[in-house]
Amino acid sequence: MITINENYLKLQASYLFSDIAKRVASFQEKNPDREVIKLGIGDVTRALPKACIDAFHKAVDEMAVDASFRGYGPEQGYAFLREAIAKNDFHARGANISADEIFVSDGAKCDTGNIQELFSQDITIAIPDPVYPVYLDTNVMAGRTLNFEDGRFKGIVYLDSTKENNFVPALPKEPVDLIYLCFPNNPTGSTITKEELKTWVDYARANKALILFDAAYEAFIQDESLPKTIYEIEGAKEVAIEFRSFSKSGGFTGTRCAFTVVPKECVAYDTTGKVHSVHALWNRRHCTKFNGVSYPVQKAAEALYSEEGKVQAKELVDYYLKNAELICTTMEELGFTYDGGKNSPYVWIWGNMDSWEFFDMLLNKAGVVCTPGAGFGKCGNGYIRISAFNSYENVVKAMQRIREAFGK
Q: Which of residues 120-179 bind its own copies (CB under 8 A)?
A: 120-123, 134, 137-138, 141, 177-178
Instruction: Count the site residues for its own copies by CB under 8 A.
Output: 80
- Where would I find the H helices in 134-242? 134-141, 194-207, 236-239
Footprint of its own copies on residues 227-256 (CB under 8 A)?
251, 253-256
- Does the footprint of its own copies cover residue 206 (CB under 8 A)? no
Identify which of residues 37 and 402 has a Cβ nearer to its own copies in the complex: 37
CB 161 within 8 A of CB 188: yes
User: How many Å from the N-terminal Cα to the C-terminal Cα in the chain?
Assistant: 66
In the list 289, 322, 365, 408, the residue contacting its own copies (rule: CB under 8 A) is 289
Identify which of residues 118 and 328 has a Cβ nearer to its own copies in the complex: 118
Question: C-beta of 118: minimal distance to its own copies in Å?
Answer: 6
CA neighbor of 253 nearest in space, from 188, 310, 320 = 320
- Where would I find the H helices in 182-306? 194-207, 236-239, 246-249, 278-289, 295-302
CB 160 within 8 A of CB 190: no
Using alpha carbons only, how large is the chain's radius of gyration in Å? 22
- Does the footprint of its own copies cover residue 281 (CB under 8 A)? yes
- Does the footprint of its own copies cover residue 225 (CB under 8 A)? no
List 218's β-bridge partners, or say none. Answer: none
Site string for its own copies, 97-116 (x = CB under 8 A): ---------xx-xx--xx--
- Does the footprint of its own copies cover residue 50 (CB under 8 A)? yes
Site string for its own copies, 294-313 (x = CB under 8 A): xxxx----------------
Spatial neighbors of 164 by CB under 8 A, at least 6 apart, are none
- Does the footprint of its own copies cover residue 119 (CB under 8 A)? yes
In the list 30, 33, 72, 407, the residue contacting its own copies (rule: CB under 8 A) is 72
DSSP 8-state code for residue 35? P
Question: C-beta of 365: minimal distance to its own copies in Å?
Answer: 28
**Side chain identity, residue 405:** A
